[in-house]
Each structure stands twice: as structure tokens, then as C-alpha cells.
Structure 1
Amino acid sequence: MLRLEHVTKHYKGFDLECSMEVRKGCVTGLVGKNGAGKSTTFKAILGLISPEGGSLQIFGKPAQDLDLQDKARIGVVLSDSGFSGSLTVQELIPILRAMYPDFQKDNFLKKCEEFSIPTKKKLQEFSTGMKQKLQVLTAISHNARLLVLDEPTAGLDVIARDHLLDLLREYMEPGDRSILISSHISADLEGFCDDLYMIHEGKIILHEDTDVLLDSYALLKMTEEQYDALDKSYVLRYKKETFGYSCLTDQKQFYLENHPEITVEKGSIDELILMMICGKALG
């Protein structure tokens, strides 16, 4: 559905070099701290910036060869963009109809009602959460095959986030659609994504199926003496702590069976990000 191979972009003080894939029928998450390169990657995918190297394919075609029909099959939410504040939802509808041949007006208005989005109020009077919900509803309103969603749950309370993720799960039901999503709320991604890429300083530093991350990765906590005696064959990162050491592993079961003296904790995605970025590699 979407493939980036060594896509590069240079800015003063920042270089992007990204390779990743979003498979058909899958939800792929992109995680990393602010400034890591998530939004730059999304803009490269959407043609909002021009990559300086590498290849980028969407629907099996080079991105630069997409026609208007192909582009209409992509739904987009970007964290730093939106609609003109002088419009109402009712005034937005003819614009969406002109942009997207498959725009589904009746379903769009039904979803606006479900999410308590007023159709006659100017968008500049909307709260941040209402604007975010409107962007997501617009992205799924025209039978898109690929959604590119940059922080779609930002500004939403926990109930609205849950409702929105249910809506995206419903969108995925036909089986031939895909989503690329970023979010700083790791719990959303843990329960929603099939696989995750971690980006840091413009480079992908980890890619793993979400089930593997949650089942096989773990944080190991131990004293200095236990660390010195530890079999470090499967330690990905380590960090000095006041109590001794924390280590990140992708072989939780190995340490449960062979080092019962240390503490083995199931790590969250937030903790994984912290260890991958702030921890040190062995050797």
C-alpha cells in the first residue's frame, strides 16, 4: 500500500532518512518524541515536501506518478493544518464533493451528528477537539483506501478518543484498507496498531509487530552486582539508575527462565521509547 525506501530530506540541523512500509489491511504506527521526524515523513508521503533521495511508492506507483483519482483515495489528517475558519460544515460539503468523487454526504452528516459537530457554526468557533474530529470524519468520508493520520486524537478526551478509534476500526473492516498513524498517546497505538516504527533524529531505530513488543519486550531491573553477572546476549539498551541498572530486552522469556533473581517488568511503549532513545547500546 505504501513503501518508503531510504527517503531523505535535509534541513539545517536535521536530516531525514526513512525506510518503512504500510501493508495492505494493516494499521501501522509511527512513534517518537517531538522533532523526531514524524511530521516530515508524513509531508514527504503526501508530496508537501520534495524528498532529495530514495523512493516512495503509494498503491504500487511512484508517488510522483499518482493521478487525481489516486490522490482521492488517500485520507489525510495533519497536525498543523485544517480548513478555513470562516467556513461552516454545510459550506464545506460542496468543496468536499468537488474534491472527492466518492464523497458520502449522508454518512458524513450522520457521523457529524454522532460526534456532536454543529453544521452551521463557523469552524473558527470550534474547540480544538471538535476541529480534530471534523478532520478525521472528512478523511474517512470519501472511501479512501489509505489514511495518513498525524496525531488524530490530539485534543480529545478519553471518551472521544475511544469513539474515534472505534470509527477507524470500522473503517478497516473491508480488509483492503490501510492506516499510517502517529500519536503521542501510546495507549491508543498499543490497542490499535498491527506494527510500530520508532523514529529518532530522522531515522527509524526500531520496527516490530505490536504483539511482539507487548509480549516479548521487557524492562529488566537489577543491582550493580546482578548487572555484572547478567547474560547480556539479548540486552538492546541499558541505563544506569540509582538502584543499579535498567535494561531493555526483546527476549523476556529468556530472562524469566535464566535470571530469576532480577525483576522483569512488562514495559509500555512509552518506556520502550525512553529506553531506545536515552539508553545506551552495549559495546
Structure 2
Amino acid sequence: MLEVKRLQKVYDTFELDCSFTVKSGRVTGLIGQNGAGKSTAFKAILGLIAKDSGKIVMFGKDIEQFTNQDKEQIGVALADSGFSGYLRIKDILPVLQAMYAEFDKEFFLRQMKHFHLPMDKKIKDFSTGMKAKLKVLVAVSHHAKLLILDEPTAGLDVVARDELLDILREFMEEDEERAILISSHISADLETLCDDLYMIDNGKIVLHEDSDVLLSDYAILKLDKQQFDTIDKQYILRVKKEVYGYRCLTNQKRYYLENYPEMVIEKGTIDDVILMMVRGNEQ
């Protein structure tokens, strides 16, 4: 569906150099702290900024050769973009009909009603949750094959996030050939939605793992100095010195459970992985 090969973009104080793949039928998450390169990668993929080098292939075609018809197969919701606040939904409706040959007006209007988005109210008067829902609903209303969503749940309360995630789940259930590339700093969203995760740090991919594997096999070991000195470190990915001793990230939880039953071993979360991969030291 999407293949990014050695995508490079260099700024004065930051360099993006990453590769990743989004496969059909899967939801792929791009995780990392703010400033790690997520938004830069998304904008380069969409042609909103010029890449310095690398190759981006979407639907089996280099994006530099994309036609307007090709672009209609992409649904986009970016964190720092949206409609003019002085427009109303009824104002943008004819625009969407003109932009997308397969815009589903009936579906769009039905969703507006379902999520209580007023047709006659100016968008600047919408709540944060209403604006987020509108952006995502626009992205899914023209039968796109691939959604590219940058922080779509940022600033939303728990109920609004769950409603928005339901929209994305329904999008995937309707067609097994569809795919989603999504970034979010809210780990709970990614744990329940994504099939696989790439972690980006300082412009580079530092980890790629299936979500199920990450949640089942990754763990945090909490060790005192004696335990740390004697433990088998072959499956330890990162180490962070703490007041009590050491905090270690492993991707082989079962190995340490079976061989070191006396140790404190906690289930690893996405937040734990991000923290340890960024702040921990390699072994």
C-alpha cells in the first residue's frame, strides 16, 4: 500500500532519515515523542514539503507520478490543518463534492447527524472534539484506500476519542484492502487500534514490532545492583539507571519470568517502550 525508502529531509537542527511500510488490511502506527519526525514524514509523503532524497511508493506507484485521480484514493487529517473557521459544514459540502469524484454525500450527512455536528454553525465555534471528528469524517467519506492521520485524537476527552476510533474501525471493516497510517501520543489509542508500530526518534526508525508482540513479549525489569550484575543481558534492549538500581527493557518477558522468578517484572506498555528507547542506554 505504502512503502517509504530512505526518506530524507534535512533542516538546520533536524534530519529525517527513515524507512517503513504500510500493508493493505493493516493499521500502522508511527509513535515517538514530540519533535521526533512524525509530522515531517507525513508531510513529505503527502508532498506538502519537498524531500531531499529517498523514494515513496503508494499503490505501487511513485508519488512523484501521482495524478489527481491517484490522490483521491488518500484520506488525510493532519494535526495542523483544517477548514477555515468562518465556514460552516453546509459551505464545505459542495467543495467536497467537487474535489472527490466518489464523495459519499449520503454517508457524510448521516455521520454529521450521528455525531451531532451542526450544519449551520461556524467551524470556529466547534469544540476541539467536533473539529477532530469533522476532519476524520471528511477523510473517510470518499472511499479512500489509505488514511494518513496525524494525531487525530489530540486534545479529545475519553468519550470523543472512543467515538473517533470507532469511525476508523468501521472504515477498516468495510474493505479488507484498506489501510491506515496513524500517529498519536496517546498510547491507549494505538494499543487497541494498530496492528503494528514503528517508533521514530530523532528522525530515525528505532523499533518496528507487531502490536500484539509488543504488548505480550515486552517487559520492564526492575533490578537492584546485584541482580543487574548477575543477570543474563542478552535479551535486554535498553537500561536506565534509577535510584533503586536499574530499569531494563526486554522483548523476551517469558525468558526472564522462567529463569528469574524472584525479580520484579512488569508488563511493558507503549509508553514504557517509548521512554526506554529514548532515555535508556543500549546494551
User: Aligned partners of 2:6, 2:168: CA distance in 1, in Å?
Assistant: 29
Q: CA deviation at 1:125?
A: 1.3
1:120-151 Cα offsets, whole Å, 9 max, x none, are 11111112221111000000000000000001
1:30 is aligned to 2:26 = no
User: Aligned partners of 1:35, 1:115: CA distance in 2, in Å?
Assistant: 32
Q: Which residue does the alignment assign to 1:274?
A: 275
Q: Which residue does the alignment assign to 1:220?
A: 221
User: Aligned partners of 2:238, 2:129: CA distance in 1, in Å?
Assistant: 37
1:250 is aligned to 2:245 = no
User: Aligned partners of 1:250, 1:156: CA distance in 2, in Å?
Assistant: 32
Counterpart code for 1:264 = I
Counterpart code for 1:85 = G
Q: CA deviation at 1:261?
A: 2.0
Q: Which residue does the alignment assign to 2:262?
A: 261
1:156-189 Cα offsets, whole Å, 9 max, x none, are 2111111111111110011010000011110000
User: Aligned partners of 1:257, 1:189: CA distance in 2, in Å?
Assistant: 29
1:134 is aligned to 2:111 = no
What SS does the aligned partner of 2:214 have?
helix
Q: Which residue does the alignment assign to 1:207?
A: 208
Q: CA deviation at 1:113?
A: 1.1
1:187-216 Cα offsets, whole Å, 9 max, x none, are 000011000000000000000000000011
User: Aligned partners of 1:85, 1:252: CA distance in 2, in Å?
Assistant: 49
1:87 is aligned to 2:122 = no
Q: For this pair of structures, how many residues does the alignment match?
A: 282
CA RMSD of aligned residues (A): 0.7
What SS does the aligned partner of 2:193 have?
coil
Q: Which residue does the alignment assign to 2:196?
A: 195
Counterpart code for 2:208 = H
1:49 is aligned to 2:46 = no
Q: Which residue does the alignment assign to 1:175?
A: 176
| Runs of 5+ unmatched residues, structure 1 | none
1:236-257 Cα offsets, whole Å, 9 max, x none, are 0001111111100000111011
The 5 A counterparts of 1:57-206 are 57-173=57-173, 174-206=175-207
User: Aligned partners of 1:130, 1:187: CA distance in 2, in Å?
Assistant: 21
1:241 is aligned to 2:242 = yes
1:61-106 Cα offsets, whole Å, 9 max, x none, are 0011111111001000000010011211001000000100000111
Larger displacement relative to structure 2 (161-170 or 144-153)? 161-170
User: Aligned partners of 1:153, 1:180: CA distance in 2, in Å?
Assistant: 14
User: Aligned partners of 1:182, 1:125: CA distance in 2, in Å?
Assistant: 26
| Runs of 5+ unmatched residues, structure 2 | none
Q: Which residue does the alignment assign to 1:6?
A: 6
Q: CA deviation at 1:155?
A: 2.1
